[in-house]
Amino acid sequence: MDQVEIFKALSNKTRLQILNWLKEPAIHFNEQPNADFENIGVCVGQIQNKAGLSQSTISEYLSILQRADLVCATRIGQWTYYKRNQVGIEELAKIFNSEL
Amino acid sequence: MDQVEIFKALSNKTRLQILNWLKEPAIHFNEQPNADFENIGVCVGQIQNKAGLSQSTISEYLSILQRADLVCATRIGQWTYYKRNQVGIEELAKIFNSEL
DNA sequence: AAGGTATATCGGTTTTTCCCGATATGCCAA
DNA sequence: TTGGCATATCGGGAAAAACCGATATACCTT
B90 — contact with chain A (CB < 8 Å)? Answer: no
Average pLDDT over residues B20-28: 96
Q: Chain B, 53-82: which CBs lie within 7 Å of strand D?
A: 55-56, 59-60, 62-63, 73, 75, 78-81
Q: What CATH number is attached to the domain comprising A27?
A: 1.10.10.10
Residue A24 structural domain: 3-99
- What pLDDT sits at residue A98? 82
Q: How many domains does chain B have?
A: 1
Q: With cut-offs at 50, 70 and 90, classify the pLDDT of residue A95.
A: confident
Q: With cut-offs at 50, 70 and 90, classify the pLDDT of residue B38.
A: confident
Q: Which residue has the higher pLDDT, B80 or A92?
A: B80
A-chain CB neighbours of B19 within 8 Å are 100
H or E element at residue A18: helix A13-21
Average pLDDT over residues A60-77: 97
B72 DSSP β-pair partners: B83
Q: What is the largest CA-CA distance in chain B?
A: 43
- What pLDDT sits at residue A81? 97
Average pLDDT, chain B: 93
pLDDT of B1 above 80: no
How far apart CA A88 and CA A99 sit, in angstroms, is 16
Per-residue pLDDT of B60-95, as tens digits, reads 999 999 999 999 999 999 999 999 999 999 988 888
pLDDT of B29 above 90: yes
pLDDT of A32 above 80: no
Q: If DSSP codes are grouped into helix, strand and coil, which group holds residue B41?
A: coil
DSSP assignment of A72-88 = EEEEETTEEEEEE-HHH
CB A5 within 8 A of CB A67: yes
* Residue B86, φ and ψ in degrees, nearest 5: -60, -35
Counting residues of chain B whose pLDDT is more than 90, the rounded percentage is 78
Q: If DSSP codes are grouped into helix, strand and coil, which group holds residue B73?
A: strand
Q: If DSSP codes are grouped into helix, strand and coil, which group holds residue B14?
A: helix
Q: With cut-offs at 50, 70 and 90, classify the pLDDT of residue A1.
A: low
